[in-house]
Amino acid sequence: MPSPAADCEITCVDVYTQDGQLIFEARKGSGPKATGTVKPKAVNKPKARAVVKPKAVAKPKVIAKPKVIAKPRVAAKPKKKVAPKKIGPVAVAATSLSDRISKSLPTAGISYQPNFQPLINVPVYFWNDIPASFRSKVDLIGESIDVVMRPSFTWSFGDGTFKTTTDPGGPHPTGKITHIYSNPGTYPVILITTWGGSFTHNSIERAITGQIKKSSALSITVVAAPTRFMN
């Protein structure tokens, strides 16, 4: 499972194991969303119109006339000012880039010696073809990740005996993985390879979360040595 990570303001890199594979993951720009405020446009206020005063008129001679009652003037209603609409902040989604790649680790091939009818009570040499380390360099969204994985081995020889080691073994006479069978028969030999390691990003080394296990198997037939009677 991937290790938990907080919001990545700049860059986050993680390497972990999942479903028997090595997963590289990088992410940029997963920080909080940026916001920008749009200012409302200014509204021009109406200009006050100048009132033209009527010219003074010479008073006519007073002639007796019936009084005329002047109608009251209707005052003009003031125009309502339209307030500008308030526009809230516009959310701008932060750009986010992510990518990941999986790398399959090698599965061991098993060899043994002698490879034809090994005898009981005689050491059988076992070995595998897994390298001492598995190195990989991955570039994701401009970020360089260096990974080193190292194996350990658990052998099951099929007769109830086990051996755990970091040595891949080898053929006779230098191989260090040997087993002696006491009884003739066909035995299932199972090898479990366990991978663990670390990754380096920006010169900082971190342990990889989890392990990867790979299994390999074959059958070996062990026979009894022929008995000869001497006169």
Delimit the domains of the chain by residue range. Answer: 104-222
The pair of structure tokens assigned to 49 is 């119109």
Cβ-based burial of 200 (10 A; exposed 0-12, middle 13-18, buried ≥19): middle
Task: Quote the CA–CA distance of 140 and 153 in Å, as a whole number.
Answer: 32
Task: Quote the CA–CA distance of 223 and 119 in Å, as a whole number.
Answer: 5
Q: Which CATH architecture has domain 104-222?
A: Sandwich (2.60)
The pair of structure tokens assigned to 168 is 């891949």
pLDDT in tens, the chain (231 residues): 444 444 456 778 888 888 888 888 888 775 433 333 333 344 455 454 554 555 555 555 555 555 555 555 655 565 666 555 554 444 434 344 455 556 678 899 999 999 999 999 999 999 999 999 999 888 888 888 999 999 999 999 999 999 999 999 999 999 999 999 999 999 999 999 999 999 999 999 999 999 999 999 999 999 998 767 666
Produce one character per residue of 89-127: b if its CB has 16 or more CB atoms within 10 Å, e if not: eeeeeeeeeeeeeeeebeebebbbbeeeebbeeeebbbb
- How big, in percent rounded to 5, are the helix, strand and coil portions of the chain? 0, 45, 55
pLDDT in tens, 3-34: 444 445 677 888 888 888 888 888 877 543 33
pLDDT in tens, 162-187: 999 999 999 999 999 999 999 999 99
* pTM of full prediction above 0.75: no
